[in-house]
């Protein structure tokens, strides 16, 4: 899977594009603003932010910064060449006093492959915006996190084709007492996704994030191992929603999951984009009649010289 379109909604609001020039459009009701500047300059291989994005962002903050509650940041030039505008976003925090939801990295594949996106350490965003409630970040190249304490963050979503164990460890070492929804796209080892089930043990043991009720361990090459671990994980009984979508879940992983503790307390189990047989998919739906189970988008494994290959939805 590649990201085929920009976000149409974010944080429950329709997304409105901030224009390249001229005044911002007049909007009716609560919206999420989006700012981006995509251009490719093959000679601009430097880690500095593109001037076009920097100038547009400054104009955005000057014109409507005090009204913005939700913000989507798209391309900041060509993201394989330029680092994300994290420093600029942090510096603008006093002029964005109402910001509560931020999505950094809303790009389609034509703009930049997710694994090529140069992002940097995203945790300073949480320090700069202590009132932030929703943070979604997407990236792959030079993509990191540092342990942080944040009292208001309710949802953290990290989307990657390969999420390092160092990134995951820093998230798990953070103090996030209000965190209700954690969504980690673990990806594949080929693109830096070296996180293992053992790395996730503090989370699975239910020792972290007392408000956590929704957990996504998605886009995972190790989906079967995760399913087996979740069969006995102490965190599961307090969850409302469990998401193992976009990964390589097979019949073996599902059998291990269903052989473990009860999942009937869940309101939703998302398994879409999977490698389940039709029989196994029907089985999980039948086993959880009161649960919204998503087994859409079945995949077929590749066979080559007797080897079977299964792929995550997002890698490069």
Looking at residue 79, its pLDDT comes to: 77
Q: Residue 305: exposed, middle, or buried by beta-carbon count in 10 A (0-12, 13-18, 19+)?
A: exposed
Phi, psi torsion values for 306, nearest 5 degrees: 80, -5
Pairing of strands 13-17, 9-10: antiparallel
Show pLDDT as tens, one digit a residue, over the chain (316 residues).
456 689 999 999 999 999 988 888 888 889 999 999 876 665 555 445 567 888 899 999 999 999 999 999 998 887 777 788 999 999 999 999 999 999 999 998 888 888 889 999 999 999 999 999 999 999 988 999 999 999 999 999 999 999 999 999 999 999 999 999 999 999 999 998 999 999 999 999 999 999 999 999 999 999 999 999 999 999 999 999 999 999 999 999 999 999 999 999 999 999 999 999 999 999 999 999 999 999 999 999 888 777 788 999 898 8
Q: What angle do CA 66, 105, 6 make, to 5 degrees?
A: 90
- How much is the pLDDT for 1? 47
Q: What element of type H or E holds 87?
A: helix 86-91
| Structural tokens at position 290 | 């009161």
| Paired sense of beta strands 118-121 and 181-187, if any | unpaired
**What confidence score (pLDDT) does residue 38 get?**
79
The number of residues in the chain equals 316
pTM here is: 0.94
When computed from its CA atoms, the radius of gyration of the chain, rounded to whole angstroms, is: 20
In this prediction, residue 40 carries a pLDDT of 64
Q: What is the DSSP letter of 24?
A: P
- Give the end-to-end CA distance of the chain in Å, rounded to a whole number: 10
Q: Return the pLDDT at 294.
A: 98
**Residue 186 burial (CB count, 10 A):** 32
Look at the block and give the residue holding tokens 């079967």. Answer: 224
Nearest to 245 by CA among 265, 275, 200: 275
Q: How far apart are CA 85 and CA 35, in angstroms?
A: 11
pLDDT at 49: 57
The pLDDT value given to residue 305: 73
Cα 209 from Cα 200, distance rounded (Å): 13
């Amino acid at each position: 899977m590649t990201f085929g379109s920009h976000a149409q909604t974010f944080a429950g609001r329709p997304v409105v594009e901030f224009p390249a020039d001229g005044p911002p459009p007049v909007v009716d009701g609560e919206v999420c603003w989006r700012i981006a500047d995509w251009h490719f300059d093959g000679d601009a291989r430097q880690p500095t932010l593109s001037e076009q994005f920097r100038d547009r962002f400054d104009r955005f903050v000057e014109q409507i910064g005090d009204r913005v509650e939700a913000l989507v940041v798209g391309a900041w030039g060509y993201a394989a060449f330029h680092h994300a505008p994290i420093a600029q976003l942090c510096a603008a925090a006093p002029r964005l006093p109402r910001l509560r939801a931020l999505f950094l990295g809303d790009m389609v594949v034509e703009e930049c492959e997710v694994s090529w996106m140069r992002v940097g350490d995203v945790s300073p965003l949480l320090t700069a915006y202590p009132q932030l409630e929703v943070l979604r970040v997407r990236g792959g190249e030079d993509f990191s996190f540092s342990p942080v304490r944040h009292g208001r963050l309710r949802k953290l979503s990290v989307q990657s084709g390969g999420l390092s164990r160092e990134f995951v460890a820093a998230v798990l070492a953070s103090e996030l007492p209000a965190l209700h929804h954690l969504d980690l796209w673990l990806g594949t080892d080929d693109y830096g996704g070296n996180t293992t089930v053992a790395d996730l043990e503090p989370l699975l043991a239910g020792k972290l994030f007392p408000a956590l009720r929704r957990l996504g361990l998605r886009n995972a090459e190790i989906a079967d191992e995760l399913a087996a671990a979740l069969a006995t994980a102490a965190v599961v009984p307090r969850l409302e929603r469990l998401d193992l979508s976009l990964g390589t879940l097979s019949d073996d992983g599902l059998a291990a999951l269903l052989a473990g503790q009860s999942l009937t307390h869940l309101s939703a189990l998302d398994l879409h984009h999977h490698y389940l047989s039709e029989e196994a998919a029907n089985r999980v739906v039948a086993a959880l009649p009161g649960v919204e189970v998503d087994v859409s988008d079945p995949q077929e494994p590749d066979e080559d010289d007797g080897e079977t290959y299964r792929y995550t939805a997002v890698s490069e």
